[in-house]
Amino acid sequence: MTYEQSLDFLYNSLPMFQRIGGAAYKPGLGTSMALDNLFGNPHKTFKSIHIAGTNGKGSTSHLIASILQLSGYKVGLYTSPHLVDFRERIRVNGKMISKEAVTDFVNRYLDMNFDGSPSFFELTMMMAFDYFRSCNVDYAIIEVGLGGRLDSTNIITPILSVITNISFDHTQFLGNTLPQIASEKAGIIKPGIPVVIGEDCPEIHDVFIKKAKTEGAPITFAEEQPAITCVKRENDLLQIDTHDYGTIIGELSGECQTKNANTVLTAINWLKQLGVKITNEAVINGFKNVCEISGLMGRWMIVGHNPRVVCDTGHNVGGIKYIVNQLKKENYNTLHIIIGFVNDKDISHILNLMPRNAVYYFTQASVSRALNCESLAKIAHEKGLAGNCYPTVKEAYTVAMENCSGQDMIYIGGSTFVVADFLPLVSNQ
């Protein structure tokens, strides 16, 4: 089987949430545990750090991976979804898994005649664990796919758990209230394993306290003893004044990155307490060069100037709030917004947050879950958002660029898949 055939098998023979949505969601750990036994329990051969949360998982995971790598460790990183290349999901020291390794894993899996029916995510997760074992990684940063308690990654026993924040997303699976969602995320808290909670609020505080007490897990709320004293944004970088590392320059400059940085620094302090040797230089340079080191993309990612062009994968109310606040602080003559969503998300609350003084380009990503741009435009017009429909992200971006002056700004987002369609358009610029 070739690499292309292997991808075709993964994408089309297995239920894939990215492609079909809720029909691919498989709560429970039974299949993951069976797969893990089939492959000889690869996750037990390395130490792991487990990252859950509604927003900020990706940034937090990549930052911790970068810092550990610069401290001299071989580091695995498992995240989802990918934006451009499937292999983004599985990295070792920032380098994507090879095509040969993907093909080898799929061929070995098929030869085993496994009698289960794994989802795309379950099998991809096992590919990551198997690859990390073969690479002899020291640490692996494992990002939860959806929720926590029933997510397939929850078969691991990490040395540290991190829950970045809680907001409304995937409510059809996780619950309709913040305490219900927090309870699902808290499912990654393991007996005796320290847990860091990035953002706290009164409504969910006791959910984490109760779960941590039940599991005998030391719990730290990052906001109670903040590692950061002051943050300023200058020249598209964050200047982060910290207690332990002086002033750190953060390459990730999105509005949400202040809280992510505080979460990461709290997690790093815990890792040090657990005996992980991490240098101050690694922390400083890990923040400064995280995209180059780890391959992170799509977080307030500036891809053009004159006009200023920015994309971001924020796709729920919690993430969009940060984006809208940041857009208010930008300087431009006219704001152009290219936006699209998936068809299984309640977008009314998101559209209520979006700026009214912008020109909208309603579009749809090239996935079957994409909300039809005509339907989106109808809903958006009812919310007072003005703009036209474009059936592809490429067409929307082309027209936006034609309509722009050098003093304007273009923002692309709404859905991870819109950003995924957009990035190849500018990859060679």
pLDDT at 24: 45
CB 328 within 8 A of CB 320: no
- Can you give the pTM of this predicted structure? 0.93
Phi, psi of 286 (to 5 degrees): -65, -40
CB 327 within 8 A of CB 304: no
Phi, psi of 355 (to 5 degrees): -65, 140
C-beta atoms surrounding 251 within 10 Å: 20
For 13-41, give one letter per residue: b (16+ CB within 10 A) or e. Answer: ebbbbbbebeeebbeebebbeebbebbee
How far is Cα 391 from Cα 396, in angstroms, rounded to an integer?
Answer: 8
Question: 99-111 vs 120-134: helix axis angle to the nearest 10?
Answer: 110
CB 354 within 8 A of CB 324: yes
C-beta atoms surrounding 349 within 10 Å: 12
Segment (H or E) for 425: helix 416-426
pLDDT at 350: 93
Domain 3-294 top-level CATH class: alpha beta
- Structure-token match 């230089």, residue found: 281
Domain regions of the chain by residue span: 3-294, 301-426
pLDDT at 173: 58
CB 178 within 8 A of CB 277: no
For 415-427, give one letter per residue: b (16+ CB within 10 A) or e. Answer: bbbbbbbbbeeee
How far is Cα 52 from Cα 306, in angstroms, rounded to an integer?
Answer: 37
- Give the CA dihedral 59, 64, 66, 72, nearest 10 degrees: -170
Beta bridge partners of 160: 49
The whole-angstrom distance between residue 172's C-alpha and the CA centroid of its chain comes to 19
Judge residue 183's burial from the number of C-beta atoms within 10 Å of its C-beta, 0-12 exposed, 13-18 middle, 19 or more buried: buried
Residue-wise pLDDT tens for the chain (429 aa)? 899 999 999 988 886 545 444 444 556 799 999 999 999 999 999 999 999 998 899 999 999 999 999 999 999 999 999 999 999 999 999 999 999 999 999 999 999 999 888 989 999 999 999 999 999 999 999 999 988 888 999 999 999 999 999 876 555 657 678 989 999 999 999 999 999 999 998 999 999 999 999 999 999 999 998 999 999 998 899 999 999 999 999 999 988 899 999 999 999 999 999 999 999 999 999 999 999 999 999 999 999 999 999 999 988 888 899 999 999 999 999 999 999 999 887 899 999 999 999 999 999 999 988 999 999 999 999 999 999 999 999 999 999 999 999 999 999 999 999 999 999 999 765
How far is Cα 145 from Cα 161, in angstroms, rounded to an integer?
Answer: 14
Paired tokens of 71:
């401290």
pLDDT at 12: 86
Domain 301-426 top-level CATH class: alpha beta
pLDDT at 17: 46
